[in-house]
Amino acid sequence: MRPSPHDALVRWLAAEREDHPQAEETAETALLELFESLPLVAPPAGFADRVLFRAGIDRRDPFASLWARLVLAAALLATSLGVLWLPATLRAARALLPTWSLSDVVQSGVRALVEGVEGLASVLQVWNLLLTIVRAVAQPLAVPQVMAILLGCLIASALAFRFLRDQISGERNWTHVDSI
C-alpha cells in the first residue's frame, strides 16, 4: 500500500518551517517521498500515432515495402561491385597524375599559405574600409542635435505613412465603378 501523499506533504512543509540543520535533510526525504507517491502520468497507448496521423505524417516503417527493400538491395549490390573496380580505377588515376616529390609538396604548401595570407590581408583591407565608413556615419549621430533631427524625421515619416495608409484603405471597396 502506498503512503498517503497528504502525510508526506504535511511532513515536508513542517520540515521546511524548522530551522535546525537536520530539518533540511528531513525536508528532502519528505519531498522525495511526496514525489514518489504521485501517480505517473503517461499518455494512452497509441497517442503519438494518432497525433501523427492527424498531422498527415505517415509513421510506417520505410523498409516495410518490398520496393524499398529491393532498391536497398540493388544499392548495396552496386556498391559491392564498385569496390571490386576500385583498385583498377585508382591505378588508372595514378597513371594520369604526375609523380610528386617532397619538394613539390612543400612548394605547393608554401604557395597555398602565401595565397591564404594575401587573401586574409585583402579581407582585412575591406574590413578597415567598412570600419572607416561606419565611424564616419556614427560620429555625427552621436551629436544630440543631429539625433533630435533624425528622430523628428522618423516621427514625421511614421505619421505620413499612417495617414497615407488610412487614406488608401478608406478608398478601397469591392466595386470599381460607381452605380448610376
Give residue-wise pLDDT tens across range 76-87.
Answer: 999 988 888 888
| 3-state DSSP assignment of residue 94 | helix
Distance CA 65, CA 75 (A): 16
CA-CA distance, 36 to 12, in Å (whole number)?
13
Please give the torsion angle defined by the CA atoms of residues 72, 73, 78 and 79, in that order, rounded to the nearest 10 degrees: 70
Q: According to the model, what pLDDT value does residue 2 have?
A: 56
The pLDDT value recorded for residue 118 is 96
pLDDT of the residue at 115: 96
* Average pLDDT for the chain: 84
**Helix ranges, the chain (H):** 5-17, 21-37, 47-54, 66-96, 102-141, 144-171
- 133 pLDDT band (50/70/90 cuts)? very high
Q: Answer whether 32's CB lies under 8 Å from 21's CB.
A: no
Neighbours of 12 (CB within 10 A): 20
Lowest-confidence pick of 5-14, 34-43, 57-66, 146-155: 57-66
This model's pTM is above 0.75: no
Determine which of 100-104, 110-114, 116-120, 134-138 has the lowest per-residue pLDDT on average.
100-104
Q: Binning pLDDT at 50, 70 and 90, where does residue 175 land?
A: low
Residue 87: per-residue pLDDT? 85
Contact 28, 50 (CB under 8 A): no
pLDDT for the residue 56: 76
Highest mean pLDDT, choosing among 74-78, 84-88, 168-172: 74-78
Kindly report, residue by residue over 19-69, the tens digit of the pLDDT. Answer: 777 888 888 888 888 888 888 888 888 888 888 888 877 767 777 778 888
